[in-house]
Chain A
Amino acid sequence: MAKQYDVLFRLLLIGDSGVGKTCLLCRFTDNEFHSSHISTIGVDFKMKTIEVDGIKVRIQIWDTAGQERYQTITKQYYRRAQGIFLVYDISSERSYQHIMKWVSDVDEYAPEGVQKILIGNKADEEQKRQVGREQGQQLAKEYGMDFYETSACTNLNIKESFTRLTELVLQAHRKELDGVRTRASKELALAELEEDESRPEGPVNSSKTCWC
């Protein structure tokens, strides 16, 4: 039986309430779109396996609640992520303004070397637009991030942005990945062990290697 994946890692979706984090995710993993979604409380989980550069990557995606009050809780999850989507809504100036605050939280709580990408969602709502595309590009440039305008509704740039962040994470961990290419039987669990700080010795499952 072919093994299910070569690399496993974790991506996180953050941004204000109602910018469409859950919708982006549902479009990506299930190719579904519902205009009225149930609110996310705490954190929700999805997973998908994609192939990038001939490597089978299983990504776990953590979808967080956006309300400020919840951030005490969701910040605890930043340190478990290898890649983070910062999402705003192009029809909400406020959600765009808040990106700065989200970025500073990431800087404070996420591990060093975490890959970030900026998303301006709801690109289909052109008539309600409050944030210009250039503004998004400008902000992304300032923080050294890639930028996409997406629409979960029309399926614009969804696959592209998820694939891009995946590539970025892969690039950031190229050294460990070379190991995967040469020893094809190995699996790399980027996501697995960084939270087992209390465990004195390395991975229990010796068939998987962890870099963190």
Chain B
Amino acid sequence: MVVQAKKRELKEAQRRKKQLEERCRQEESIGNAVLTWNNEILPNWETMWCSRKVRDLWWQGIPPSVRGKVWSLAIGNELNITHELFHICLARAKERWRCFSAGGPDVDSEDAGFSAADREASLELIKLDISRTFPNLCIFQQGGPYHDMLHSVLGAYTCYRPDVGYVQGMSFIAAVLILNLDTADAFIAFSNLLNKPCQMAFFRVDHGLMLTYFAAFEVFFEENLPKLFTHFKKNSLTPDIYLIDWIFTLYSKSLPLDLACRIWDVFCRDGEEFLFRTALGILRLFEDILTRMDFIHVAQFLTRLPEDLPADEVFASIAAVQMQSRNKKWAQVLTALQRDSREMEKGSPSLRH
């Protein structure tokens, strides 16, 4: 018995030693990566960002200390938003908050068509949603350190884009950006990110276009996971059931935050295609158990993914997903489907709602 206990002790010690070594190795590699990003890549961004070496390093995850900078550069600023513009939009938002909380009439007649009641509803919804954004972190809620920043970014955006306004899901995207960037830069990244075609389609709830995205996704789903695809079809598990939450919040609500940030890393590099590739990676990882579940269990599972998802396994699974279907890439499949749906719309408008 004593011998056995000793053996166990020894084993436990070995395990702990191994763990420690592993952690040291990880820390060392993160340290090295920070140096490479700061000293080599960031100063030579334009020439280096699409090189093989950088792409490989990127896939392994951007170190948190340089993450915000890399995201900003990769998202870009097509909209040419300046810090000044952010402060102007924010000032207008604050003016509006004051107006509504004082119960006074809305004097701003510039963007008529967006009624005062709508705007008030949207301001109230922002307030409500901020308290419901990552409630477990306890940093965005009233009195929390990031509350005002999140409020500012979302408020400024509704003034910058009254045509889009505030849509649920946005608070999660803004929150993740705020965790990695200062407020004005978070606003710039936020506005540019939402301006991408896929995000615009979803946040404006352009249903026809969303269906096209789902159809493109299903092409690659069937190609990569035919067995699971058939199982989903048989059980009426349409992609909207799980993709809406994943795409609207860019996985920040359904995946552990550190893993979600790694998904964002590659999303910033590869664009919308990676969001759908990630979805396939997740389905692939759980293919066996999902195939054995019925509708409600799959729906529950996918809308509440396990909290302890190991990043390495997820990324290995994503890497194994083929984003080519009959020699066509994502963008080509999507364009072809868009063309089809436009033609169908012309031919028989009654078929689509």
Hey, which bits of chain A sit against chain B, CB under 8 A? 17-18, 34, 36-47, 60, 65, 67-70, 72-73, 76, 94, 192, 195-196, 204
Contacts and interface: CB of A to CB of B under 8 A. Distances in A.
Contacts of A17: 125, 128-129, 168
Contacts of A44: 303
A60 B296 CA distance: 7
Contacts of B131: 36
Interface string B242-279: 00110011000100000000000000000000000000
A69 B167 contact: yes
Interface in B121-147: 121, 125, 128-129, 131-135, 141
The 5 A-B residue pairs with the shortest CB-CB distance in the complex, in nearest-first order: A42-B244, A45-B299, A39-B132, A36-B135, A195-B236
B329 interface: no
Contacts of A196: 236
Contact of B253 (A38, A43, A47, A192): A38
Contact of A65 (B134, B168, B234): B168
B241 A67 contact: no
Most A C-beta atoms less than 10 A away, residue of B125, B129, B207, B240: B125
Interface of B is mostly: helix
Given A39-B133, A46-B300, A67 B167 contact: yes
B119 to A, nearest CB: 13
Contacts of B249: 41
Contacts of A18: 125, 128
Nearest to A37: B132
Sort chain B's interface into a size bin.
20 to 34
Given A38-B253, A45-B303, A65-B168, A204 B135 contact: no
Nearest to B297: A47
Contacts of A41: 168-169, 172, 244-245, 248-249, 253
Contacts of B133: 38-39
Contacts of A72: 205, 207
A72 B135 CA distance: 27
Contacts of A43: 241, 244, 303
Contacts of A204: 234
A65 B207 CA distance: 16
Nearest to A98: B121
A39 B253 CA distance: 9
B168 A39 contact: yes
Most B C-beta atoms less than 10 A away, residue of A41, A43, A69: A41
A44 to B, nearest CB: 6
Given A38-B135, A42-B248, 10 more contacts: A34-B135, A36-B131, A36-B141, A37-B132, A37-B135, A45-B303, A47-B300, A69-B165, A73-B207, A196-B236
Nearest to A22: B132
A96 to B, nearest CB: 14
Nearest to A92: B124
A73 B206 CA distance: 10
Contacts of B135: 34, 36-38
A73 B244 contact: yes
B212 interface: no
Contact of A39 (B171, B205, B236, B299): B171
A37 B135 CA distance: 7
B179 to A, nearest CB: 16
Contacts of A38: 132-135, 253
A44 B254 CA distance: 12
16 contacts: A17-B125, A36-B132, A39-B129, A39-B132, A39-B133, A41-B244, A42-B240, A42-B241, A42-B245, A43-B244, A44-B303, A45-B303, A65-B168, A67-B125, A196-B236, A204-B234
A72 B201 CA distance: 13
A30 to B, nearest CB: 12
Nearest to B242: A42
B205 A70 contact: yes
Contacts of B121: 68, 94
Nearest to B302: A45
Contacts of B172: 41
Contacts of A67: 125, 167-168
A212 B98 CA distance: 53
A105 to B, nearest CB: 13
Most B C-beta atoms less than 10 A away, residue of A39, A72, A196: A39
B333 to A, nearest CB: 22
B69 to A, nearest CB: 28
Interface in B75-94: none
A72 B204 CA distance: 10
Contacts of A65: 168
Nearest to A44: B303
